[in-house]
Each structure stands twice: as structure tokens, then as C-alpha cells.
Structure 1
């Protein structure tokens, strides 16, 4: 069993294996036991409870990191977890637009998110591994990350909202529809069905609109990972901390979706807060690593992130309170 103590990406193999055992156990418990009925729609209350559970488990894991690896690594994990959760909120809103634009019923959205998260875990692992290798070989890569984060934050700050029509007419979905056999109507919760070919009459495989939705969700996650992965590298370059904080945030994304998607219009100004978070993280790299002026400790990044996120949420809820009142009156009349 000596191989368990071999260092891999800076940490013993047993730590990597133990973490993945935790992840598999959580997913089996959540998806296999708590949600056996795949057609059941998750409500806002259940969504918030599950999200809280995942957040508590993530913080508990951060407590273990603090105890075993030291205070600095513990602070880095918690900061990374909060940043990834924050950036995931914008991802949730985009996923809601995608599923709505493609006409995916709420009863089938759970299935798309489950497979989307499984793909996201693999894709994040590959991207983090590549990022770790680049940073290890050339530390100046962090400066490129900083420039990209500042650019992404400014772009998010001044860009216009994308509508549902943009999703339906996106280049990726047009390409898939042009080169694959895709059914016009959904077939329950199936991604692939066997139907007769219009020309030959033989039974062939067809992709369903649910498969297109899954593809679009995965593409969106890759795009957002381009922002979130450099953001966490701005906090720490330890691959174990980067990977584990990312995965815990992804696990909570599915449950968070059903809460935020139900009141997406109440968070109209959250995107502005996320933009400032990206700009702050990019500026932190410039000040600390590129210029070598002030090296901010992880808790400062955590505090700034929490303050910006809180301001964005509170301001959004305050500015959109008229929308909430209108919905409440509509429910009362009904």
C-alpha cells in the first residue's frame, strides 16, 4: 500500500482517492436515493435545502483541509469555494435560458443537469490539470490569467444580455442540427432513440432535443470554466485545492439551479457584482505576482468576494421588489 503515499500533483495519492470516494458517495446518495423518481420536479424549498447541505459539506471539507494542511490552505479552499459558487450563479442563469429556449420541460431538466455535471467534473479536471502544468512550467502564465480575468470582467460589465433566440440560433446547435439526425419532438427523458430513416425506412439512431440541450449546457460550462479556473488559480496554485473547491461548487450547482431558475428575474444586477469580482481577482494577480507590490492573504480575497456578492444580491432583490410584489398579487388573485 506504499503507492497510496506517493505524491501526485503535490499531494499523496490517498488524498485524491479519498476525495473522489466522497464525491461518488455524495452523488450516489443524492441521485440514487433522494431522487429515484427522475420525472419529479425539484421545488425551490428542496433546492435551497440541498444547496445548503452541499455548502455545509464543502465547508466541512475545508475545515479538514485547514486541520490537516494548515490555515493558509484552509483559507484558500474556502475562498476558492465561495468564488466558484459565486461565478456558478451566472452559469445557472445561462443554463436556465438554454433549457427554456430549447423547450426542455422542468421534469426533464434534472436529467440534463445530472449528466451535465458528470461531464463538467471530467472537463474541469482536464482544464485544472492543464492549468497546473502551465503554471508549474511558467509562472508568468498567471499574468495572462490576470489579463484575461480583467478583460472578462469588463466584457461582462458592459455586454448586453443574451436572449433565448441567441441560444436557438447559436453556431454550435446549428452545426449539430445540420450534421446529426435530430428529432423535432422530445421523447421523454431519452437522449437517443431508434426511429425509421425517412429515406431508407431502416431503423437508425436519432438524437433528441434533450441531447441538444445537454450539449449546449456542456458548452456553456466550458465557456464559464475559462473564467472560473483562472480565478481560482489567482487564489492558489495548489492543484488539490483548485480541483476540490471546483468540484464541490459543481456538485452544488444542480441543486442551486432549481432555486435560482425559479426567480432569475430577481437577480438582474448580480452579473455586475460577478464582473467586479473577476476584475478584483485579476487586479490581485497584477499587484501581487506581476508587480510584486502587496501579496494579499486569502482571507482578504474571501472578504472582498463576499462583500461584492452580498451587495449584488441585496441590490438586485431591492431593485426588483416590484416584480416580486406583482407575482405575489398574481398568486393571491389565482
Structure 2
């Protein structure tokens, strides 16, 4: 497939100080001097203002290059969060022509060339510059006509399938209509049958009701007569029963009174016995207390005596110790005096001898 080479727009750039960028510029100029060109970017191609792709009601006011979405001012918050809005580049249709040219959907986003080819592997339209990279990666590439033919064939196949399904659906609809009509007729017949049967049943019920009421009236008359007789008999029996009950109650009262008297007497005896027991216990407790107190007093007296004796003993011992100490001191004094006297005499003797 013969594909025309890309053509680039000549740009007047300022001269750089380094030599390397100059060499690059020369190479690019040689490439751009190809006579075959698909699109001249200097021609103003103004895209039509599209509809909002979010609400599909209003005209689009903005276009996001990153998201590739046209949207109106009301739908701006649905397309971008505040953080995404800072990161993405946004263009309005009211801005100058340069931005309008950039958002043209017929141009490549990377190279601003016309989209004239289709890459099957990447599943997107490409320009002539993109073609080189795709060719290096061994991608299968088609021209727009070939791609459109393929799509049209696929669409035809899909349309044929849709037509077949439509015919099938039409047949099913016809059958459903026929079945619906049959069902309607059958339901009508059933309703009529049910109404007739219900009317017959209602008549039978009404007749049976009348007969039943007549029977009830007869039964009421008979029952009333019997009921009066039974009531009279019951009243007589009840009177007799009441009389017997009254007699029984009287007897019970007498028995209860006797029992009460006996209980009272027994309770008195029990109370007296309890009081006697209490008195005895109190006396015993008093005696025990007195004995305990006497014992305590005796013990205290004995303790006091012992204490006194101990104190007297201590005093005696102390006195004896004092006396002994005094005697010892006296003896010591005497001994010292003797020693001194002896020493003095010895000195005198020595002097005399000398």
C-alpha cells in the first residue's frame, strides 16, 4: 500500500548558541521539503461546535484534551474533580483559533496531522507520523476506505441479523396476538359459566335459608315451652339447696367457734409457759453475770496483790543494791587511803637511808 509521506510546517525558530540543535534543524528541514502533503496546517480548519457528550442537551462550551470529552458549563463538575481540573488541559470554544485547531477531532493529538489511517492493534485512527511507529512494531494498518469497507460489511452482517430477529419477533408477536385473542374468548366463556353457576348456587342457598328459618321458628316455640317448665323445676331445687346450705353454714360456724376457743386456751397456756421459761433464763443469766463479776473482782484483787508484792520486792532489791554499792564505794575509798599511806612511808624511809 502506497502511503504518502508526512509534511511538516516550516517554523522560524531563533538561533541557538550550541551546534547540536542546528544540525537537528537541518535534518528536519530536509524531510519537510517533500512535495506530497496531506494537510496544510496553515489553512484554518475550524471544527464545528459539538453537543455536550454528558447531558446531550446543550452545546459544548469546553473540551478536555486529556479526557477527549466535549462538555457544557453545567456538566463541568461531572467531568472533572477540582484536582483533575488542575492537571488536565482545558480549552474553550470562545478562545482564539490556535486552541480550536488543537481540539479538532480530525487531527492527531500528538503530531497535529490529519487522521488518514487506522491501526487495528491499537484500535484507533492514526496520522502518517504515527504510521512509522506502528510499522516498526509490525502493526496491521488499513486505509480509511478499507477500514470503512470492513466496518460496512460488519454493519451489513449485524443488520442482517437484526432483520432476521425482527422477522422472528414479528412472527412471535403475531402468535402472541392470536393466543391473546384465544385467551380472551376462553376467559369470557369461563366468566359466563362461573356467573351462571354462581347464580344457581345463590338461589339454592336462599331457598335453603328460608326453610332453615321456618324450622328455627318451630324449634323456638317448642323450646320456649320446655324451657319454662325446666326453669320452674330448677327454681324449686335451688330453694331447697339454699336452705340446706344455710343450715350447713350455721353448723360450720359453731364448729369454728369451738375450735377458736380451744385455740385461744392452748395459746394462753403456751404463752404462760414461754414467759416462765423466759423468767428462768433471765434469772440464770443474772446469776451467771454476778458470778462472772465476782470472779473478775477476785482476779483483779489478786492481780493487785501480786503487783504490790512485786513492787515491794523490787524496792527491796533496789535498796539492797544501793547498800551494796555504798559499801563497795567505802571499801574502795579505804583501800585507796591505805595505798597512799603506804606509799608515803616508803618514800620517807628511802630518804632517811640516803
Pairwise same-fold verdict (TM > 0.5): no
TM-score when scaled to structure 1?
A: 0.20
Q: Which has the higher helix share?
A: 1
> Which structure has the higher relative contact order (CA within 8 Å, separation 6+)?
1
